[in-house]
Amino acid sequence: MMRKELLKEVLAEQRRRIERLKEEYLVTREKIGEVRSFAGTRHSIVVTGIRRCGKSVLLAEIISSLFEKYYYVNFEDERLAAFGLEDFTRLYEACIELFGECRTFFLDEVQNVVGWEKWVRRMYDDGFKFFITGSNARLLSRELATSLTGRKLQVELFPFSFREFLEFRKFGLKRMDDYITERRAAIISRLSEYLRDGGFPEYLKDRKIEILQEYFNDIIQRDIVERYRLKSGRELKGLASYLLTNTANPATYNGLKKATGELSINTIIRYVEYLEDAYLIFTVPFFSYSLKRQAASPFKVYAIDTGLRNAIGFRFSRDAGRIYETAVAIELKRRKLEVYYWKDAKQREVDFVIRDRAKISELVQVCHEISDVEVKNREISALLSASRELRCNNLRIITDEAEGEEKVGGKIIKLTPLWKWLLKGS
């Protein structure tokens, strides 16, 4: 059992820190509206996302705008390393003695405590409200599924979107920006920074590459190696670096085995799942109405942040196109869309097939070099092939600068610059 005086010391310091936290970045997160809309419900609110993407700051925003009385605990604090299920009652007593009676808990990185969901369920049934964060999707899903089924609402938080990045850089968007050459050029310049640096708040303050490298090492060691009791993180780290380097590329488990050389197929499958659960990467499957064909086809792997990818992965001359595609993939995931890629028998590929329930709602290509006639014709040919097979006429190419519409083969193809698509989703 942990000493109550130590718990009080931790709680008092964490209260002071969370009340200062919102002032550090001065960016209103786009997810704040979604979380606020859930705040008045009976449900527990669960915020998940990669380590250091701003989950604690989001909690600070919720606290400052909605709650005068609350309890806040961050289980990343090393002084709580020995905290166990049996310590929750003592923690609650320490909260009452320090801050008075209250029925709202904010629990940060709670997955560090084995069995936490049992205590939360008991307190929930007694009428307590919970805001919970965690940086492991699978652990939270598994634990919540057993204890809070139908009693939780989940929000995924990512590193800054492009709009949040502009706010962080104090670049205020204006209604006429599309039509003013200087403003448009400034936005495009900021886009280049965003694709290079990504959206981790702390890194953007100082732009020291060591910060992103430390994040990577922490995710590998703390979120995976220690959590799953792996003997060594060396092979996992090598696989993660390879996947980040090859963001936006198709992959197979056999191909990854050949590339890494040391790992079995089963280990690679497990490691890829761990990396996804820790939000370091995410995968996009091949689209087919045949589940068997879909499962047998390569999947595509994307880094969760372009800045993190650039800090860890090797760079090649062809990176610009894959970084563009990665930025689009991240944004589609942020928008909670069901996304696939597609390829026909002639190897013509469409980067993103967006599905809305049983219907294909949009086909999207990402093309950094649309001014190259051969490249443009290849991208259009793939779109037209997919349009015929998947019976979708909503066709788009996301470009570097080209904008407008083109009519090809009786179909309308929209051309949208990446900066405009990221800001307006159109």
What are the structural domains, with CATH classification, of the chain?
A: 4-157 (3.40.50.300), 319-426 (3.40.1350)
pTM: 0.94
| Predicted confidence (pLDDT) at residue 426 exceeds the cutoff of 50 | no
Query: Which residues does 112 contact at the CB level (< 8 Å), separation at least 6?
Result: 75, 76, 80, 83
* Mean of pLDDT values over 225-236: 92
Q: Are strands 349-356 and 359-366 parallel, antiparallel or unpaired?
A: antiparallel
Summarize pLDDT for 100-142 with one digit per residue, the tens: 999 999 999 998 898 898 999 999 999 999 999 999 887 667 6
Summarize pLDDT for 63-111 with one digit per residue, the tens: 999 999 999 999 999 999 999 999 999 999 999 999 999 999 999 999 8
* Mean of pLDDT values over 55-62: 94
Residue percentage of the chain with pLDDT more than 70: 97
| Predicted confidence (pLDDT) at residue 25 exceeds the cutoff of 90 | no
Residue-level pLDDT at 167: 95
| Predicted confidence (pLDDT) at residue 417 exceeds the cutoff of 90 | yes
**Cβ(104)–Cβ(128) below 8 Å:** yes
- Token pair belonging to 266: 């089963």
Least confident stretch, 279-288, 302-311, 365-374, 413-422: 365-374
| Predicted confidence (pLDDT) at residue 408 exceeds the cutoff of 50 | yes
Q: What are phi and psi of 409, to 5 degrees?
A: 55, 35
Residue with tokens 């006639």: 373
